[in-house]
Each structure stands twice: as structure tokens, then as C-alpha cells.
Amino acid sequence: MTRLDKLLVQSGLYSRSDARALIRSGSVAVNGVTVDKPETKADESAVITVLGAQVNCAEYRYFMLDKPAGVLSATEDPGQPTVLDLLPRELRALGLSPVGRLDKDTTGLLLLTNDGDYAHRVISPKHGVVKTYIASTALPVTAEDVEAFREGLTLADGTRCLPAVLEPLEGSTCKVEVSEGKYHQVKRMLASRGKNVETLRRVKIGQLELDESLGAGGFKELRQFEASKVFGLS
């Protein structure tokens, strides 16, 4: 159980003083009951409303973003736009960070959260969370390329990659599934087979699929059970 004023601050919508003022004015209800004392304890799972509108006061928050090209997977940069710049001010105040990264010109599914343990589990190779990409290449992939990915590639600099899935699609597009996140990994793996990547888009992490209706730069909040789909949980 947590103080009600602290829960409102966790929402990212209010300062501590604003939260206290709203509570004292009778503008806040917990599970339908108006509360006027900021020190009142409430559970994160309670239905908390401010002026009749429900507010998400969970400590940990999870967001799905359809990252556009030309945006950095970073929290801040002095000269270039970052994924956090795509969010409104109140969400940027939550302390969100990208879960892993996508290259500047790579698009698609990127998770944002303030849950450090969750982020670590998603990106740590020992957890084996599979990331799925759709790539277009200058040349179509071949059966030999598929077998090379299945066996595990060694890149030009000697980096050894774990076995991965390569599936030819229509024309010069293909699907790639990897369970690690080395620097420029998918591009380098395909390039090692003479297939230079022209476009790359991440469409799935674990069992969590990108909501294509978001559109480039669009985002939505995930409930905890939805965020857990990256681990095959629901």
C-alpha cells in the first residue's frame, strides 16, 4: 500500500503539491470513494480517478512504439531527435528508457519502460527472447543462406552469432529471427552472405507483435500482461 499523493505523482501527471491539493479538494476517488487525505494508503491496482477520469498510477509502465526512421533509440541527444521526443511531456517525466535499441534507420517495434529488471530480461541473451525482423535486401536470399543462418554465422571481424532463423519471403524480402542483440547484427549477418540490407523493420519481440495501426511514431501503453508476452506469458 502506498500514499495516495505518491501514487498520483507516479502517474507523471502531477507534482506532489498538485496531487495533495487535488486530494484535499475532494477531486480524487479510490474505487469510487472520494478521499480527501493525501496520506491515505491505496494499492496500485485500485481504480483511482481524478475529476472523474481514471489515472494509471502504477510504479512501472510499459509502452509500445512504432519507431520511425531517422530517430535515435536514446533518452536524449544534443543534436538529433530521440524516441522520447515522440512522447508528450507527462510521459517523458516517467523516467522511461528504450528496451535495447534499433539503428537510426531501422523502424518498427521498440519498447519503452521504467522497469529496469524487465528491460534487462528482454535484452539479456541468456533469456533467449527472440526478435523478429522483416528485411529487404539488394539480392534475394538463397537456401544456402538459410542453412548458414541455421548453423550460426561468423562475421568478418570474427564475431560468432548464435543460430538464427532466415525465411525467404516475396521478392527480395525475408524474415529474420535472432535471440541476441549484437551491434548492427541483422544487417551484418545478411551482409556476410552478400545480401546488403536496404530496409529493416522489427515486427515482433517474443510473442508480442507490433500493432501496425499505430503508424510511424505512434505509441500505446501496454498492460503488464501484454508486456509479459515478450517472455511467452499472457
Which residues form the catalytic set?
103
- List the grid coordinates of 14: 502531477
Asked if 142 contacts 190 with a C-beta cutoff of 8 angstroms, the reply is: no
Q: Secondary structure of 172-202 in the HEC alphabet?
A: CEEEEEECCCCCCHHHHHHHCCCCCEEEEEE
Task: Give the burial class of 12: count Cβ atoms within 10 A of its Cβ; 0-12 exposed, 13-18 middle, 19 or more buried.
Answer: buried
CA distance to 10, 53, 55, 61, per residue, from 28 (Å): 15, 9, 10, 21
What is the rounded CA–CA span in Å between residue 142 and residue 168?
A: 8
Give the containing element (helix H, strand E) for 111: strand 107-113
